[in-house]
Amino acid sequence: MNIDQKIQELNQRKDEIQLGGGVARIEKQHEGGSLTARERLNVLLDQDSFQETGLFARHRGTLFGMAEKEMHADGVVTGAGSVNSRLVHIACQDFTVGGGSVGEIHSAKIVQMMQSSLKTGSPFIMINDSGGARIQEGIDSLSGYGKVFYNNVMLSGVVPQISLICGPCAGGAAYSPALTDFIIQTKSARIFITGPSVIKAVTGEEVSSEDLGGPAAQMNISGVVHFIAEDDMDAIAICKRLLSFLPSNNLEDPPRKEAEETILPDKQLNEIVPVDPKQSYDVRDVIGHVVDHADFMEVQAFFASNIVIGFARLQGRSVGIVANQPCVMAGVLDINASDKAARFIRFCNAFNIPLLTFVDVPGFLPGVEQEYGGIIRHGAKMLFAYSAATVPKITVIMRKAYGGAYLAMCCKDLDADRVISWPTAEIAVMGAEGAVDVIFRNEIKKAEDPVLRRQELITEYRDTFSTPYVSASRLHVDDIIEPADTRRYLALALDILHSKREFRPQKKHGLIPL
């Protein structure tokens, strides 16, 4: 062959491989409302930025008909590219090739990308669409998964890892996304450890694939998933938006966007939170008025909705927001809320994203179920995560801040850099009614008019403790501000704290209660 013939052969081979499992399987993928692996990459990555590696990869299987089986690119497209001009490494499973099943070479390709992410300090993105371990490759397949899991852990806290679930993700395969920082699942995708038929055989329970592994189940009930996407296009849009808030690695700051020249007071903030502590409101209205362009990317919106977490920007700087949600279970902290918040706090700390905490919390949820479920262990995660965090930590006490939950929402004693409160704040061991019933039980019983006396004592207790002034006098609160000035105060505090450095004693790692 001369050079022209060799180039022609090369191009033919490339064209054939890039067609994945062939036209019929691509059409099947489209009929199911899904994009192919290469279409997904085209949508996610900047034009002409993709550099593929491992196009000619081929499995080494010989058993169960594998010797003669062509599996183009071994069922996964891998490479580097850019998203909004920022480098990422990516592995995108191709369901049209052997059902995207994971064999030795398939997983080696994924691992190579993970290691390149680590070396170049760039986020790792994995698009999952796979029947799981390639059954014909046996232990080699399992070993491949083991290496992916190991590298997920090596990357953890060094570069952001994002998983998109755009098809099946069953069995042990689900543990790779679980080891990453964020999971985005499309409505038609399914993720579970054991499918409906295995569950029926083992436990007798009957459940549909959607009820078991659809995104509603795996966000609202299990808290595994962080974002629900309508379809592939939406999942990719969510991924791009999420990346925009994050640094490329733990040694960088998040990218900064433009800031306003002057911040004017926002009088509407004075009206959102009712003074009456029994009245409810949606804390996302407060967040919307504080952050840039009311642009708040809520994470896990449908899981443990009594606490709200998510990303936003303030004067162009990325911030992580944690806020009690008074319109869901009065904003109480429970097991799931503690897990949700603690994990988010640790992510923000790992990636240099300052934490803003908005407090309106009546306490930890009482109950046998919560105690038996380990609320002590789970609630402690919030104390641990906030205490261990060294990023700028700024807390706004809007209204109620009672007892252990006051502490757990990043008080001064957990080393918050600023704690400010609004004049509506009530910072106390417990609500005035409960406090009076405990400490003045006998006095109320003996009073001529017990109802009147109880009310007098409640008022006295509230006037004494349930204001921010006592806390401010003892330096638990740095300042008391008009709600309208919150955005301005926080922006200045973030500027001041930008150069914050804090060094802790060397250790292998802390022992967060799991």
Catalytically annotated residues: 171-172, 404-405
**Distance of closest approach, residue 161 Cβ to ligand HXC, in angstroms:** 18
How far apart are alpha carbons 104 and 148 in whole angstroms?
11
Based on its alpha-carbon atoms, the radius of gyration of the chain, rounded to whole angstroms, reads 27
Q: Please check whether residue 327 is in contact with residue 282, taking contact to mean a CB–CB distance below 8 angstroms.
A: yes
Binding to ligand HXC (CB under 6 A) within 94-133 occurs at 98-99, 101, 131-133
Q: In this complex, which beta carbon is closest to ligand HXC, that of residue 25 or of residue 257?
A: 25
Angle between helices 450-465 and 432-439 (to 10 degrees): 120
Q: What is the DSSP string of 398-466?
A: EEEEEHHHHHHTT-GGGT-SEEEE-TT-EEESS-HHHHHHHHTHHHHHHSSSHHHHHHHHHHHHHHHHS
Toward ligand HXC, which CB reaches closer, 132 or 255? Answer: 132
Rank residues 121 and 171 by Cβ distance to ligand HXC and give the closer one: 171
Closest of 318, 321, 341, 260 to residue 494, by C-alpha:
318
Whether 417 contacts 392, CB under 8 Å: yes
Exposure string of 463-479, with b = 16+ CB inside 10 Å and e = fewer, is eebbbbbebbeeebbbe
CA–CA separation, 512 and 381 (whole Å): 6
The distance of closest approach from Cβ of residue 198 to ligand HXC in the complex, given in angstroms and rounded to an integer, is 9
Residue 83 vs 189, nearer CB to ligand HXC:
189
Output 3 or 63, the one with its CB closest to ligand HXC: 63
Q: Which residues have CB under 8 Å from 460's CB, separation 6+?
A: none
Mask 59-98, x = binds ligand HXC (CB under 6 A)? Answer: ---------------------------------------x
Strands 297-299 and 307-314, bridge-based pairing = antiparallel
Binding to ligand HXC by CB under 6 A, coded x per residue (else -) over 131-150, reads xxxxxx-----x--x-----
Block residue for tokens 């580097």: 80
Residue 239 beta carbon to ligand HXC: minimum distance, rounded to whole angstroms: 23
Count of Cβ atoms closer than 10 Å to residue 145 Cβ: 20
Interface pick for ligand HXC out of 54, 168, 247, 354 (rule CB under 6 A): 168
Among 121, 138, 172, 404, binds ligand HXC (CB under 6 A): 172
Q: Does 489 bind ligand HXC (CB under 6 A)?
A: no
Angular region, 405: left φ>0, alpha ψ -120 to 50, beta rest: alpha
Q: What DSSP designation does 333 have?
A: B
59 vs 340, beta carbon nearer ligand HXC = 59
**Minimum gap (Å) between residue 90 Cβ and ligand HXC:** 21
C-beta of 98 vs 392, nearer to ligand HXC: 98
CB of 28 to ligand HXC, least distance (A): 8
**Cβ at position 309, least distance to ligand HXC in Å:** 29
Judged by CB under 6 A, which of 138, 157, 171, 316 binds ligand HXC? Answer: 171
Identify which of 109, 140, 111, 114 has the alpha carbon closest to the alpha carbon of residue 125: 114
Distance between CA atoms of residues 42 and 161, nearest Å: 19
> How many residues interact with ligand HXC (rule CB under 6 A)?
16
What's the closest the beta carbon of residue 231 comes to ligand HXC, in angstroms? 17
Report, in Å, the least distance between residue 307 CB and ligand HXC.
Answer: 32
Distance CA 226, CA 245 (A): 15
Which of 96/324 has CB closer to ligand HXC? 96
Q: List the alpha helices (DSSP H) in 250-397.
A: 269-272, 283-290, 335-350, 368-372, 375-388
Q: List strand residue ranges (DSSP E) for 257-343, in order.
A: 297-299, 307-314, 317-324
Choices 166-174, 327-335, 358-366, 493-501; region in contact with ligand HXC by CB under 6 A: 166-174
**Binding residues vs ligand HXC (CB under 6 A):** 98-99, 101, 131-136, 142, 145, 168, 170-173
